[in-house]
Amino acid sequence: DAKTTQPPSMDCAEGRAANLPCNHSTISGNEYVYWYRQIHSQGPQYIIHGLKNNETNEMASLIITEDRKSSTLILPHATLRDTAVYYCIVYKIKAAGNKLTFGGGTRVLVKP
């Protein structure tokens, strides 16, 4: 699976958009970009995923560059409850024994 690079931490003001970057320059054509987050001591929570096109759901938007070498997760209106570690993961779906490789992630602190 392709490796990802994320900034270790970032702060965000409550009510503002949070833009979380991720580099995955070695991603292959059949690998998806997934985002999960882990709020302190809780199980990881799925946020969103995509292959080529930009995606949006009730939690966030995912912008993937045309060459697919990087992506940005956007939390449109950050709240204090969005404080968490955010993980960008690339992996092939439909592969037996698929495991999520959680790297260091980005520790996001939403401030009042």
Partner 1 sequence: NAGVTQTPKFQVLKTGQSMTLQCAQDMNHNSMYWYRQDPGMGLRLIYYSASEGTTDKGEVPNGYNVSRLNKREFSLRLESAAPSQTSVYFCASSGYTDTQYFGPGTRLTVL
Residue 43 binding partner 1, by CB under 8 A: yes
Member of 45, 54, 56, 79 binding partner 1 (CB under 8 A): 45
Nearer to partner 1, 18 or 50 (CB): 50
Binding residue (CB under 8 A) for partner 1 from 6, 18, 22, 34: 34
Q: Could you tell me the strand order of the sheet in which 45-50 lies? A: 9-13, 106-111, 84-92, 31-38, 45-50
Question: Which spans of this chain sit near partner 1 (rule: CB under 8 A)?
Answer: 34, 41-46, 49, 87, 93-94, 96-105
